[in-house]
Amino acid sequence: MAREVVTTCTRDCPNTCGLIAQVDQGQVVLLGGNPRHPLSRGVACHKAKEFVRRAYSSERILTPLRHNRKTGVWQRITWDSALNEIAGRMNEVKDQYGAEAILYYRGFAQRTALRLLNERFFNLLGGVTGTYGTLCGGTGQASQNLDFGCRISHDPLDYEHSNSLVLWGRNPVATNPYLLPVIARIRRQGGSVILIDPVASESKRICDVHIQPAPGKDAFLAMAAAKQILALGREDREFIESHSQGFCHFQRILDSFTLQELAQACDVPVQQIELLADVLLEQKPTGILLGWGLHRWEYAHHMIRSIDALGALAGLIGVKGGGVSQGFEEYAPYDLDWVGDSLHPNRRKLLMPLIGEEILKAQAPPIQMIFVTAGNPLCMAPNSGKVAAAFAQVPFVVVAGHFLDDTAEQADIFLPSTTFLEEQDIVASYGHNYVGPVNQAIPPQGESWSDFELFQNLAAYFPFGPDFKRSIEEWLTLLAAPLLRQGVTLEELWAGPVRLPEAPMVPYSDRKFATPSGRFQFMTEFNRPSCLEGKESYPYQLMSVSSYEWLCSEMTPADQDELTVIRIHPKEAAKLNLADGETVRVISNVGATKARLKLDSEQRQDTIIFPRGRWLKSGSSANLLTRDIVSKVGNGASYYETKVRIEPI
């Protein structure tokens, strides 16, 4: 008889599904959805099944390893000798260069409560160098903070009140399945679901209309729809006059363009702009959902702020079933004092989107040691070539993970990590308002340790060891204290998903905004970004989007034998004399890589769609091409500001 363990998917995914692991004779035989989770409602995605395969993969590394980076020889070692060597090197580096010569790089792969203690370890060790900025969602948050004071998204359960939906740069079929029943319900009831995406993504087939703007030009599209609403005299005057600030400046920006000019700038027919405005006006309330694709532009804030402004004009702010929503703060429920950042308020931080460059140029002290958990920056940070060069020059690298991926291959010491199936913890979400239990379904595989166990045991080598030595239950009681104060118990948290008691269903329904004026803030400035690269040599915008099949770079070494399948419009392929299935070289001003071509007449002619995540060692990796530049607002990685050309091999 299989045993059922209630748990939660902790992977880097906004869905954070409630899961049930069926365990038979100590093995997970099925990982399915928990019917008691109000959003995932018993459904888990195809990647959950894949995750079980990953957890049991014969290629997963289950013992600590030492690596001779010169000869390439890997050697199995004990945890004792691994920790001894790491602690010794930490002390040496600290004594010789100071703690800032150690860089702690925390990736995004797991965002559970106990992961906060990883940071605590490094704060107790001394003010090591950390990171700031993000490869993921910070740009959107920072941009929306400018308009709303504090970004708060509608509870996804609130979309039950929406009569229409706009998916603006979001691909729920691949990345966010809890939206699928919402979309189906709206359409069943005759409402429209509009996809706005330069890429014809997997979500196109579940939407009524696909608006396919030129990449990175959504600000013009949002402004065009706003202009149309104003031309019809249908803007929400009451909201504008009583609850907003800066509207006249925004209107001045709109006045500097004609509707035709805006339509041309985003390359969307006027008729589709009229349709968008019509849906916002006639199918109220419309939920506007921003995805993460929008963040990866240098001027992403223009796009996001224009969309916020459009939502405000259309009367969607603070309204049931409406709103302009994006993400949630997955660490909001916890007491962040335990991270210990205040111990070293002035410690050095490197800008994550420029991590290669930042490591290379770090001086006084130069980086002597890097410790990576839950990340694969060599593959996933922009400009992989530079990141690899930076790691190569650092004398001592420790990587904790599951497989020998690109980053692990640069390690001197590799530490085997558990998967969430092997851990006890809790996890909040960046895609909704539920905290879920992570209950241990199976014992740690091989000699793998959770990050918690790793840092607790490593702490024992230092004077602050006793501080760390508390049980999981004790730590969670401390970390989740704000939740417990709101009446939630740890027992409840471990039994199933718990909604954050204070999270609003409909933010800003009281029309209060944490902006300096207390009002919604319209965008008041718009400087048109110029195109940085020559059109002729690199004619295609590289859209290095999420893959439907896999999550970030979480694949196995065996998956690296194939080339990434990239999509291009057949007319462009014909111009270049390239055939479907052909192997090509993709070249940017940063680097080059190989890929397999697939012709797709639904794509724009000025884009190449290149799913991110395949490793460098496959010779077919998106970030060998991406430029390392940082967004103007929010310190985000502007991956999509990359142009490429392709050639036959």
Ligand X SMILES: Nc1nc2c(c(=O)[nH]1)N[C@H]1C(S)=C(S)[C@@H](COP(=O)(O)OP(=O)(O)OC[C@H]3O[C@@H](n4cnc5c(=O)[nH]c(N)nc54)[C@H](O)[C@@H]3O)O[C@H]1N2
Judged by the rule CB under 6 A, the positions of this chain that interact with ligand X are 12-14, 107-110, 135-136, 168-171, 174-176, 196-199, 201, 215-216, 218, 291-294, 296-297, 373-377, 380, 400-403, 405, 417, 451, 543-548, 551-554, 612-613, 622-623, 626, 639-640
| Nearest CA among 367, 342, 378, 375 for reference residue 108 | 375
Q: Minimum CB separation from ligand SF4 for residue 36, in Å?
A: 15
Could you say whether residue 182 binds ligand SF4 (CB under 6 A)?
Answer: no
Give me the DSSP letters along 349-408: EEEGGGHHHHHHH--SSPP-EEEEES--HHHHSS-HHHHHHHHHTSSEEEEEESS--TTG
Q: Which member of 13, 55, 199, 390 binds ligand SF4 (CB under 6 A)?
A: 13
Residue 490 in contact with residue 477, Cβ under 8 Å?
yes
- Say which entry of Mo ion, ligand SF4, ligand X, none residue 9 contacts (CB below 5 to 8 A, set by partner kind): ligand SF4
Q: Minimum CB separation from Mo ion for residue 87, in Å?
A: 32
Could you say whether residue 428 binds ligand SF4 (CB under 6 A)?
Answer: no
For 439, left (φ over 0), alpha (ψ -120 to 50), or beta?
beta
Instruction: Return the number of the residue (136 or 221) whose C-beta is nearest Mo ion.
Output: 136
Instruction: Return the number of the residue (180 or 270) whose C-beta is nearest ligand SF4.
Output: 180
Q: Minimum CB separation from ligand X for residue 10, in Å?
A: 7
Q: Minimum CB separation from ligand SF4 for residue 438, in Å?
A: 12
CA 359 to CA 108: how far, in whole Å? 19
- Say which entry of Mo ion, ligand X, ligand SF4, none residue 174 contacts (CB below 5 to 8 A, set by partner kind): ligand X
Q: Minimum CB separation from ligand SF4 for residue 48, in Å?
A: 4
Q: What is the largest CA-CA distance in the chain?
A: 73
Q: Minimum CB separation from ligand X for residue 385, in Å?
A: 13
Select the span of 11-19, 131-139, 215-223, 529-537 touching ligand SF4 (CB under 6 A).
11-19
Could you say whether residue 44 binds ligand SF4 (CB under 6 A)?
Answer: yes
Select the span of 109-117, 135-143, 296-304, 519-527 touching Mo ion (CB under 5 A).
135-143
∠ CA 396-401-404, nearest 5°, is 75
> Environment class of residue 204 by beta-carbon count within 10 Å: exposed (0-12), middle (13-18) or buried (19+)?
middle
Instruction: Return the number of the residue (247 or 526) whose C-beta is nearest ligand X.
Output: 526
* Cα atoms found within 13 Å of the Cα of residue 605, Cβ hemisphere only: 8
CA 348 to CA 99: how far, in whole Å? 10
Could you say whether residue 136 binds Mo ion (CB under 5 A)?
Answer: yes
Could you say whether residue 171 binds ligand SF4 (CB under 6 A)?
Answer: no
Could you say whether residue 45 binds ligand SF4 (CB under 6 A)?
Answer: yes
Could you say whether residue 362 binds Mo ion (CB under 5 A)?
Answer: no
Could you say whether residue 11 binds ligand SF4 (CB under 6 A)?
Answer: yes
Could you say whether residue 17 binds ligand SF4 (CB under 6 A)?
Answer: yes
Could you say whether residue 265 binds Mo ion (CB under 5 A)?
Answer: no
Select the span of 13-21, 120-128, 507-515, 526-534 touching ligand SF4 (CB under 6 A).
13-21
Q: Minimum CB separation from ligand X for residue 561, in Å?
A: 18
Q: Minimum CB separation from Mo ion for residue 405, in Å?
A: 17
- Say which entry of ligand SF4, Mo ion, ligand X, none residue 16 contacts (CB below 5 to 8 A, set by partner kind): ligand SF4
How many H helices and E strands in the chain?
A: 21, 27
CA 285 to CA 274: how far, in whole Å? 17
CA 371 to CA 399: how far, in whole Å? 6
List own/partner pairs for 244-247 with CB under 8 A and 24 or more apart.
Answer: 244/312, 244/519, 244/520, 244/521, 244/522, 245/515, 245/517, 245/519, 245/520, 245/521, 245/522, 246/521, 246/522, 246/523, 246/524, 247/522
Q: Which member of 5, 6, 9, 498 binds ligand SF4 (CB under 6 A)?
A: 9
In three-state secondary structure terms, 410 is helix
Measured from each CB, the residue nearest to Mo ion is 136
Tokens representing 83 are 């920790």
Q: Which member of 6, 20, 21, 48 binds ligand SF4 (CB under 6 A)?
A: 48
CA 89 to CA 170: how far, in whole Å? 44
Could you say whether residue 15 binds ligand SF4 (CB under 6 A)?
Answer: yes
Instruction: Return the number of the residue (136 or 566) whose C-beta is nearest Mo ion.
Output: 136
> Environment class of residue 264 by beta-carbon count within 10 Å: exposed (0-12), middle (13-18) or buried (19+)?
middle
Instruction: Return the number of the residue (129 or 546) whose C-beta is nearest ligand SF4.
Output: 546
Torsional sign, CA 105, 375, 424, 152 = positive
Instruction: Return the number of the residue (148 or 178) whose C-beta is nearest ligand SF4.
Output: 178
Residue 447 in contact with residue 62, Cβ under 8 Å?
yes
Contact positions vs Mo ion (CB under 5 A) = 136
Residues engaged in binding ligand SF4 (CB under 6 A): 9, 11, 13, 15-17, 44-45, 47-48, 177, 551
